[in-house]
Every structure is written in C-alpha cells, then in structure tokens.
Amino acid sequence: MSAAEQIERVPFEIIPVNDNTDWLQQRMAFIGASEAAAIMGASRYEDALSVYLRKRGLAPEKEETEPMRWGKLLETPIAEEFGVRTGRKVFGGSALMRSTIHPFMGCTLDREQQRPERSDAGVLEIKTAGPWIADEWDEGIPVAYQVQVQHQLIVTGRQWGSVAALIGGQQLKWADIELHENFAKTLVAKLEQFWECVERGTPPPASLSEAGRKALDRMFPQDSGETIALTADAIDWYEQLEEITAQEAALKKKKTALQVQVIEQLGEATYGALPHGRGRFSAKWIEKAPYQVKAQRYREVRRLK
C-alpha cells in the first residue's frame, strides 16, 4: 500500500466546539496547520519554540491583529469568488478535525471544494496578504501555505487542495496542490518529534529570527542578576556584535553627511532632480503631534568591556 493510500484511509474525528474560546482550548491538544508551518521553519511570524510555549501553557494565544480580523471577514467573499472563477463547488469549512492515527495533528478547514473533472473533494485554504507578498507567488504557492495544505491533507485523508489568496485587497491568486507523499512522511515525523518535546517539557531551540527572539523573551520574562559562564561560541558572538555595532554607527554617520549635502544644495526647494533623469530627491518638512509612547518591555543585549 502506498503512502498516499495509507493517508487517504486515515480516519479523523470532528471535535465539537461551543465558541471561539472553546476552539482555542481544544486546539491546545494538537498541532494545527499554521503551527505546522512554524515548526517546519516556514512561517515568518512564529517558530517551533513559540508553538511549544503556547502548547505548554507558558505563552498566551496570539492576539487578533487587524490583518487577522480582516482575513476572517473576507473569507466568505474570497471563497465565493474562487468558486465563480474556477467553476468549482465550494462548501463546508469551520469544523475542527483531529487525526485519529496521528492524534498530535489537527486542523480547521476554511472550505472544501469539488472539481468537475474529479470525484474526490479537496481542501481550500483561504488567505489575505499585503501586496509585498505578490512576488512570492512567481515561483508557485508560498512555502508556508504549502506546508499548511499538506498538513490538512494528512489530517483529512484528502489527496489534493488549493490555496486562494487575496493580495493587496485587489488581486486574487490561486493554485492547486497535490498530496506529496515524501513530504507527508517527513512532516508527520517532524511533528511527532516536536509533540514528544511538548509532552516531555523539552523546549526546541529558538530560530535565529525575530520570532525566536520574541519566544525567548516569553520563556525568560525576568533576568536574575547572576553571572554564568558561557560556551566558547559566545566569543564569536561578542566579536560579531562589536563589528556590527561599529558598522551601524559608521553608516548612520555617512547617512547624515549625505543628507546634509542634499539639503545644502536644495536650500528652500522641496525637490531636486538628478542629471539625465536618473531620479529625484525630496526634502519636506514633517510635523508630528506629540504623543504618549506606548509602553514597551524587551530584553536588551549589550556588550560589556
């Protein structure tokens, strides 16, 4: 029996939920599709450590942002327009599913779909994104979306799915994706390994990214004041931070010098045209009203002599 046939026969259970709070609580018991992308290193917003802390109850659920809210509000019209443009039947969605073969995996489908030329239904992942992500579609479905769909296919036993994304609020892009047997095996193994870490209370390493930095701030919300011995690797970090800090200072100084030269030539003029039509400078006065700085709390890393 092929891996695709095995996954196709994977049964799943529908978990009843009462409201959004209940849905969030039920999700604590398994890995969701977007969390799978984070664990696989494909998310720009989270990493494996972020997901681990949430599953262990050491970090709160992500607060709803403006983009997240609009994503929910636009889900239905995007699904409807996808159906119109593709001629497919779009239905279902919103059910919380959990694999009974891989109980550490679950998902909530945005929608399901039916193509005229296929007898089997597929999943439909709906996204909204800023215009800066448009270029990522030039080489196909963005990796994070691919991971999410593969995760959903494993949980539901489906063989194919699609991603439909409204980009910049005015461009709808979509693409189909088939179950990838080899990747499905890798994903299941990786997520099982991660879930074992959750059950044992062994945190995965933080990613070397802003997501990893934020996860560590949640993991260590206080500093103790003590001094500990670091490994030999820290010598290289120390030297690199020293070099980067010097480069930042030099670049800031150079930027200021260039700005002075531009303003000196412009005088009272607002714009300055470069020779041969190569571009323009602008130097407008900007006035900002005083405001109350939002409270912040973060851990500052400094080199000490």
Same domain, 240 and 196: no
- Residue 173 and residue 93 share a domain: yes
The segment with the largest mean pLDDT, out of 8-22, 211-225, 289-303, is 211-225
Grade residue 139 by pLDDT with cuts at 50, 70 and 90.
Answer: confident
Q: Tokens 């190569």 label which residue?
A: 278
Asked if residue 40 belongs to a domain, the reply is yes
**Rg of the chain on CA atoms, in Å:** 25
User: What residue numbers bound the domain in which 243 lies?
Assistant: 234-274
Average pLDDT estimate for 80-93:
95
Cα–Cα separations (whole angstroms), residue 120 to 48, 112, 223: 33, 11, 55
Residues 214 and 239 in one domain: no
224 located within any domain: no
Question: Quick one: pLDDT band at residue 1, thresholds 50, 70, 90?
Answer: very low
Tell me how far the alpha carbon of residue 236 is from its chain's centroid. 30
pLDDT digits (tens, 9 = 90+) for 247-300: 999 999 999 999 999 999 999 999 999 998 888 999 989 887 777 667 777 766
Distance CA 189, CA 153 (A): 15
Q: Tell me: do 206 and 77 sit in the same domain.
A: yes
State if pTM tops 0.85.
Answer: no
Whether residue 286 lies inside any domain: the answer is no
The domain spanning residue 89 has which CATH number? 3.90.320.10
Q: Are residues 210 and 241 in the same domain?
A: no
Q: In this predicted model, what pLDDT tens digit does every residue of 231-242 receive, in sequence order?
A: 999 999 999 999
Quick one: 110 and 242 in the same domain?
A: no
- pLDDT at position 93 is 80
9 found inside a domain: yes
Residue at 305 is within a domain:
no
Q: pLDDT category, 7, cuts 50, 70, 90?
A: very low
- CA 194 – CA 275 distance, rounded (Å): 58
Number of domains in the chain: 2
**DSSP calls for 136-205:** GGGGSS-HHHHHHHHHHHHHHT-SEEEEEEEETTTEEEEEEEE--HHHHHHHHHHHHHHHHHHHHT-PPP
Residue 104 CB neighbours (<10 A): 19
Q: Is residue 171 in some structural domain?
A: yes
Strand partners, 281: 272
pLDDT band for 59, please (50, 70, 90 cuts): confident
Does 288 fall in a domain?
no
CA-CA distance, 259 to 145, in Å (whole number)?
Answer: 42
Domain assignment present for 225: no
Assess contact for 210 and 45: CB atoms under 8 A: no
Mean pLDDT of the region 46-58: 95
| Predicted confidence (pLDDT) per residue in 94-109, tens digit | 789 999 999 999 999 9
